[in-house]
């Protein structure tokens, strides 16, 4: 069976924890997009780990983890991550591979990324990891892939600084390189988990362009970046938080209250509360994340554009102490009600959320072992989202630990 896990918002939905959880029953975990711009926090037995490039499944000693063709790999970041893991007792020998079609991030691209974003009239607020430049070089057909390393003609074409940078990495990268498509055909009976990075609203095509990343973070990207056909995918899981967050610039329609005339345009009361309770600070850059109410307009859009079979809700415990919870069920802009997620950044910037109110449960959710033990108010919130999105919520996460995960429908079943 092949399962794809993607982010259904602006990244940081808690995919790392869910992939780690699902990896238990997988043999192979393939990350299909992005690069060291991503940041996953995983807590295992009280120990906290931050990963940027290597799939979260690496913590199981018997799993194969693969960096897919849709990724952009910074060798410095990759080897420092491997060193960190090995230093903390996680043996990665012989089980971390890279698709030979993956592109390489050069130090020069990182520099250009930072300079270009700073020079923009309205910076995107990139993570400064050279991601957009590497994908541009790839699109412009001037990129360098793992498969090209050591090929004399290609190496001669490179600028001297780039060549000098790459030479010490060639053997190490080559040793990890595989033909991913043949590898997966050979392991056709394995359970494979395809791990996305960022989220639907940061996808280059489907996201809030130009305030997006440059990779394919949607489910279709799993087919291309994972070197399989789209029909080989059995199931798509979309991870979302009980609220919305965003790092960097660009529209976040539920960041501001919009339900009352007085409230319109004021920062949501939720912002500081959620940031501190949910520890909403970037793993890669340390930047405070912008926080807002759950945006169901964009969540439904994510369900449709990714063919999400089942949603995974995370961080619901952040709401444990609130009297009232709100979620956005439509946008209001210039007297119009908008129910479909617009492409136009101008529309999104003008959109005021139409908020629906729910009662809080005022109880610690992490005490529950099954969904049936949840307070009725939490169930009402969850089941409203399911009806709105016409998609079931199969897993609810109520804490950072592996144990704090409520399974309503077993993911590795058809």
Considering 20, 40, 74, 315, which one is annotated as catalytic?
Answer: 40
DSSP states of 270-334 = HHHHHHHHTT-B-TTT-PBPEEE-EEHHHHHHHHHHHT-SEEEEE-GGGGTT-SEEEEEEEEEET
Site for Mg ion, rule CB under 5 A: 12, 39, 283
Site string for ligand IMP, 22-51 (x = CB under 6 A): ---------------xxx------------
- Told to judge if 186 belongs to the known catalytic residues of this protein, a careful annotator would answer no
Tokens representing 8? Answer: 């259904």
Tokens representing 127? Answer: 């993570």
Rounded distance between C-alpha atoms, residue 238 and residue 246, angstroms: 17
Q: Which does 213 bind (CB under 5 to 8 A by kind): ligand IMP, Mg ion, none?
A: ligand IMP
Hey, which residues between 170 and 209 contact ligand IMP (CB under 6 A)?
Answer: 197-198, 202
Report, in Å, the least distance between residue 40 CB and Mg ion. Answer: 6
Using the rule CB under 6 A, is 12 a contact of ligand IMP?
yes
Hey, which residues between 214 and 233 contact ligand IMP (CB under 6 A)?
Answer: 214
- β-pairing verdict for 294-295 and 192-195: unpaired
For ligand IMP, the closer CB: 75 or 199: 199
Report, in Å, the least distance between residue 49 CB and ligand IMP. Answer: 16
Q: Which does 125 bind (CB under 5 to 8 A by kind): ligand IMP, Mg ion, none?
A: ligand IMP
Which helix (H) or strand (E) element contains residue 58? none
Site string for ligand IMP, 244-263 (x = CB under 6 A): ---xx---------------
Evaluate whether 38 touches 73 at the Cβ level (below 8 Å): no
For Mg ion, the closer CB: 15 or 326: 15
Hey, which residues between 91 and 130 contact ligand IMP (CB under 6 A)?
Answer: 124-127, 129
For ligand IMP, the closer CB: 118 or 407: 118
Q: Which of 241, 131, 228, 214 is nearest to 185 (CA)?
A: 228
Rounded distance between C-alpha atoms, residue 135 and residue 224, angstroms: 14
- Told to judge if 40 belongs to the known catalytic residues of this protein, a careful annotator would answer yes
Q: Which of 54, 65, 39, 22 is nearest to 405 (CA)?
A: 22
DSSP E strands in 38-128: the ranges are 40-44, 47-51, 64-67, 72-73, 96-99, 103-104
Q: Which does 8 bind (CB under 5 to 8 A by kind): Mg ion, ligand IMP, none?
A: none
Q: Which residues are part of the catalytic machinery?
A: 12, 40
List residues near ligand IMP by CB under 6 A: 11-12, 37-39, 124-127, 129, 131-132, 197-198, 202, 213-214, 247-248
């Amino acid at each position: 069976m092949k399962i794809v896990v993607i982010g259904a918002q602006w990244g940081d939905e808690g995919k790392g924890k869910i992939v780690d959880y699902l990896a238990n029953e997988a043999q192979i975990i393939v990350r299909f997009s992005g690069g060291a711009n991503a940041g996953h926090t995983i807590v295992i037995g009280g120990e906290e780990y931050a990963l940027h490039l290597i799939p979260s499944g690496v913590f199981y000693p018997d799993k194969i983890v693969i960096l897919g063709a849709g990724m952009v790999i910074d060798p410095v970041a990759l080897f420092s991550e491997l060193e960190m893991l090995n230093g903390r007792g996680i043996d990665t020998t012989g089980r971390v591979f890279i698709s030979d079609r993956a592109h390489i991030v050069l130090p020069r691209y990182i520099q250009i990324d930072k300079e270009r974003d700073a020079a923009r009239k309205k910076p995107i607020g990139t993570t400064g990891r050279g991601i957009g430049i590497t994908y541009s070089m790839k699109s412009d057909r001037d990129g360098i892939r793992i498969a090209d390393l050591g090929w004399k003609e290609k190496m001669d074409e490179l600028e001297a600084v780039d060549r000098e940078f790459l030479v010490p990495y060639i053997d190490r990268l080559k040793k990890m390189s595989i033909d991913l498509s043949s590898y997966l055909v050979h392991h056709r009976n394995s359970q494979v988990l395809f791990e996305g990075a960022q989220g639907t609203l940061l996808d280059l095509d489907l996201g809030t362009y130009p305030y997006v990343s440059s990779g394919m973070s949607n489910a279709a990207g799993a087919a291309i970046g994972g070197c399989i056909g789209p029909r080989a995918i059995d199931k798509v899981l979309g991870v979302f938080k009980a609220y919305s967050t965003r790092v960097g610039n660009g529209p976040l329609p539920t960041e501001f209250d919009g339900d009352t005339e007085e409230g319109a345009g004021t920062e949501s009361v939720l912002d500081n509360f959620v940031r501190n309770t949910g520890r909403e600070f970037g793993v890669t850059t340390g930047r405070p994340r912008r926080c807002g109410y759950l945006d169901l307009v964009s969540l439904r859009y994510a369900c449709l554009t990714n063919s999400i079979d089942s949603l995974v809700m995370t961080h619901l415990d952040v709401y444990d102490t609130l009297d009232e919870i709100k979620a956005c069920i439509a946008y209001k802009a210039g007297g119009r009600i908008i129910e479909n997620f617009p492409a136009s950044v101008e529309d999104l910037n003008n959109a005021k959320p139409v908020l629906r109110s729910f009662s809080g449960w005022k109880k610690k959710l992490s005490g529950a072992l099954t969904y049936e033990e949840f307070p009725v108010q939490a169930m009402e919130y969850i089941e409203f989202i399911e009806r709105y999105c016409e998609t079931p919520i199969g897993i609810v996460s109520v804490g950072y630990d592996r144990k704090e995960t409520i399974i309503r429908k077993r993911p590795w079943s058809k």
